[in-house]
């Protein structure tokens, strides 16, 4: 059951999602995107829960970890590729972290800097929100945004409002970054009821 829990592929108007695993991308190639070999990687990882990878082995171990979480049903991670305009270029990755005990999903995303400002974050979020509610039958999608990351907050506010959700508040000392820094998160959320109501209202309009 668990290996088939998540779909291996998803698709939106501009993006294709393909399971991120050793079968779909070589660790050396993915390392190029996640390390200092990638232009602008420091800006990309500034508000992410990971730092630029230092070795190919670190990247390979990370993919191993994602494969294990896929298998046990706690995280679906996808390569994001731009479909037509850039010949399937890897734009980054998108994930859905699932807590089955609380029936909650947390979307995750990172984009290479050259793909910023094109609306891909909201497009990716819509696909993962649909996955959480329509396929996985979860009760809540929660989106944490690190305090100070105003750019991401603006993007999140747009798609949360689109699906009828709202702002829950600031969570102090929410988590710790790899460098030891303790950070605060702004949390947004969408309930199943809000999602279904917004979908029903859209169909009636």
Average pLDDT value for residue range 104-123: 93
Residue 134 phi/psi, 5-degree rounding, is -85, -35
| Distance, CA of 134 to CA of 12 (rounded, Å) | 16
pLDDT for position 33: 97
pLDDT tens per residue, range 5-42: 999 999 999 999 999 999 999 999 999 999 999 999 99
pLDDT tens per residue, range 132-170: 999 999 999 999 999 999 999 999 999 999 999 999 999
pLDDT for position 85: 64
Residues in the chain: 205
CATH code, 173: 3.40.630.30
State the sign of the Cα–Cα–Cα–Cα dihedral 196, 199, 204, 205: positive
Percent of the chain with pLDDT over 70: 96
Which of 167, 127, 159 shows the shortest CA–CA distance to 9? 127
Look up the pTM and report it: 0.93
DSSP-assigned letter for residue 133: I
| Distance, CA of 59 to CA of 16 (rounded, Å) | 22
State the sign of the Cα–Cα–Cα–Cα dihedral 179, 181, 187, 191: positive
| Distance, CA of 36 to CA of 31 (rounded, Å) | 9
- Domain containing 187 equals 2-204
Total number of domains in the chain: 1
């Amino acid at each position: 059951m668990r290996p088939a829990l998540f779909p291996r592929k998803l698709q939106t108007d501009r993006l294709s999602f393909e399971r991120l695993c050793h079968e779909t991308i070589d660790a050396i190639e993915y390392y190029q995107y996640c390390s200092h070999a990638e232009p602008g990687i420091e800006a990309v990882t500034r508000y992410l829960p990971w730092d630029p990878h230092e070795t190919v082995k670190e990247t390979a171990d990370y993919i191993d970890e994602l494969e294990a979480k896929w298998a046990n049903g706690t995280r679906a991670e996808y390569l994001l590729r731009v479909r037509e305009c850039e010949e399937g270029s890897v734009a980054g990755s998108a994930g859905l972290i699932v807590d089955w005990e609380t029936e909650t999903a947390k979307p995750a995303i990172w984009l290479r800097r050259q793909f910023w400002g094109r609306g891909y974050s909201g497009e990716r979020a819509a696909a993962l929100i649909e996955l959480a509610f329509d396929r996985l039958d979860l009760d809540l999608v929660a989106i944490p945004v690190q305090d100070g990351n105003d750019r991401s907050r603006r993007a999140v506010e747009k798609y949360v409002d689109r699906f009828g959700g709202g702002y829950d508040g600031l969570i102090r000392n929410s988590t710790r970054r790899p460098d030891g820094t303790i950070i605060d998160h702004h949390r947004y959320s969408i309930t199943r009821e809000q999602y279904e109501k917004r979908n029903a209202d859209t169909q009636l309009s």
